[in-house]
Structure 1
Amino acid sequence: MLLAFCLTLIAGAATSVGAALGLLGRGTGGRFLAGGLGLSAGVMLYVSFVELLPEGIRILSGGEEATAAGTAAAVGAFFGGIALIAILDRLVPQPVNPHEFSGRMGSRPGRGVHRHGGALAAGIEQSAQDAADAALRARLLRTGAVTAAALALHNVPEGFATFVVALQDPAIAIPVVAAITLHNIPEGLAVAIPVRRATGSRRQAFWWATLSGLAEPVGAVIGFLLLGPLLDGPGMGAVLAGVAGVMVFVSLDELLPAAEETGEHHTVIYSLIGGMALMAATLLVL
């Protein structure tokens, strides 16, 4: 159990990596994001359909060959996991959704006042620019705060998913943790960059992003306390199938669209296939 929690903590701490990259002005290139997100999606999709869902079916079928009842229960849990994460996703307004940040990172204050001769005109323009800057900083601070809260909401089920996979099989959990780690790096960017621009403080931006990522180990603890009794017997099968649903939704609704927004389509596809191949090789070796 300690290993499962540590792996979940590592995945959540990846938001700190994203924050550091953003504050250093690195890691925000389109190809870097496209490759990381595509690789993460490939790993999560492959492990969901090839390992977690079949394992859920096996457990719910009594540990033997798949039965109609066991398959039906696992399929229901799979779509239940999708429904859960979809509802959480819909609770976050799109303008501040942590997975819809690509168009907000380069925003600059508008310049609505034209230059005119004379000190009075220059003073008026400067005042207007100061007001615009102040308004932008206020908007960016609000965006960073709401994004951090939204990330925390999103990361609770992700943390529990990572924790459950690690409890079931730590060998499978390692590539899953790597995938979620890659997934969390741009989330750290989404929090840190607007907070940095709003406050001028690298330290505040870094810690806001870090705290949002810590929702993953918190989600693992909350999920275990609430669902711990279900993690034995058939309950584990339902949880694994539900976790597969969560991962599939995250991959298709968040990772791949965000990766495509970078404009690096072929990088996304090659990375997606590479992630699947990596997961397949890991399962064969382990």
Structure 2
Amino acid sequence: MEIFAGSVWGAFLLTTLAGLATAAGAAAAFFTRRTNTRMLSVALGLSGGVMVYISFVELLAGANLSLREEFGGKTGAFLSMGAFFGGMLLAGIIDRLVPEPANPHETKSVEEMDKQNPPDYAKLHRAGIRFAAAIAIHKFPEGLAVFAASLSGLELGIPVALAMALHNIPEGIAVSVPVYYATGSRAKAFWYASLTGLADPAGALLGYLVLAPFLTSAVLEIIYAAVAGIMVFVTFDGLLPMAHKYGEEHWSLYGLVAGMFLMALGLAVV
């Protein structure tokens, strides 16, 4: 356990910073009357590219190699494969438990909220609260993903944290805009959205407390494989559909490729 202790606080810090990006999304909604859809599409695609590349090339591949060395070829392969799809299953179950109208992967732009005329204030307020609760639930495995990646070192932790931060910005908009339109209070909308960001470090803390007594090298590799599954699910279920929705022509794809390239370049020079 001691061999991991030195990086725990740094991992918590990165996870917390990624979560706080939700507040940036909330603030952005109040300082612009028009969503820059092209920039949002590229940013979401970039985030997805970073997470997919890290998941397959670094986390899953590294876990598979380490587990094969420790448990033998077939056993190690099945462990890494099982953990990867187990992570996807966990993320999918959480996604299914959230009612569709409150699913954070169905975000709205500022303009879409402007078109609600006349607005149903009570409905908007309830929607904002549902978004906040749904996003908080989703953030638990996402927080664990950032935390686990950060435990392996800054070369993985920082890109994953940045990618998750980009992912969190439109979620902040999803919470803050309906609450603002319902209450007229920027402060209340901002704090609703900001509080959901605390679910990232909360998920990391919960995962760490549960797993800390069992945290050996093999268990950590299994966690990395599961985290890869979580990040791939988040990318294909949330980031890329949102990027495509907001994108013009192939901007989301350009962002995806750019994210993969930058991540590959970063890993090559580290």
Report the TM-score range of the alignment, normalised by the length of the smaller protein.
over 0.9
Deviations along 1:187-234, one digit per CA (max 9) or x if unpaired, are 000001001000000000100000001100011100000111333121
Amino acid at match of 1:156: F
Q: Distance in 2 between matches of 1:63 and 1:168?
A: 18
Report the 3-state secondary structure (helix = DSSP H, G, I; strand = E; otherwise coil) of the residue aligned with 2:113. Answer: coil
> Larger helix proportion, structure 1 or 2?
2
Contact 2:70–2:76 (CA under 8 A) maintained in structure 1:
no
Amino acid at match of 1:22: A
Query: 5 Å matches for 1:70-85?
Result: 70-85=76-91
**Range with greater deviation from structure 2 (149-158 or 262-271):** 262-271
Amino acid at match of 2:81: V
Correspondence for 2:154 among 149, 155, 170 = 170
RMSD, aligned α-carbons: 1.5
Report the 3-state secondary structure (helix = DSSP H, G, I; strand = E; otherwise coil) of the residue aligned with 1:62. Answer: helix
Q: Does 1:17 align with 2:1?
A: no
Query: 5 Å matches for 1:179-194?
Result: 179-194=163-178
Report the 3-state secondary structure (helix = DSSP H, G, I; strand = E; otherwise coil) of the residue aligned with 1:100. Answer: coil
Report the 3-state secondary structure (helix = DSSP H, G, I; strand = E; otherwise coil) of the residue aligned with 2:250. Answer: helix
Q: Distance in 2 between matches of 1:91 and 1:244?
A: 21
Aligned to 2:52: 45
Identity rate of aligned residues, in percent? 48
Aligned to 2:63: 56
Aligned to 2:138: 154
Amino acid at match of 1:105: M
Q: Structure 2, unaligned stretches of length 5 or more?
A: 1-7
Correspondence for 1:91 among 77, 97, 105 = 97
Amino acid at match of 1:212: T
Contact 1:17–1:188 (CA under 8 A) maintained in structure 2:
yes
User: How many residues end up aligned between the 2 structures?
Assistant: 261
Q: Does 1:28 align with 2:12?
A: no
Q: Distance in 2 between matches of 1:188 and 1:50?
A: 30
Q: Does 1:213 align with 2:197?
A: yes
Q: Distance in 1 between matches of 2:240 and 2:259?
A: 13
What TM-score comes out, normalization by structure 2 length? 0.93
Q: Distance in 2 between matches of 1:152 and 1:52?
A: 25
Q: Structure 1, unaligned stretches of length 5 or more?
A: 111-132
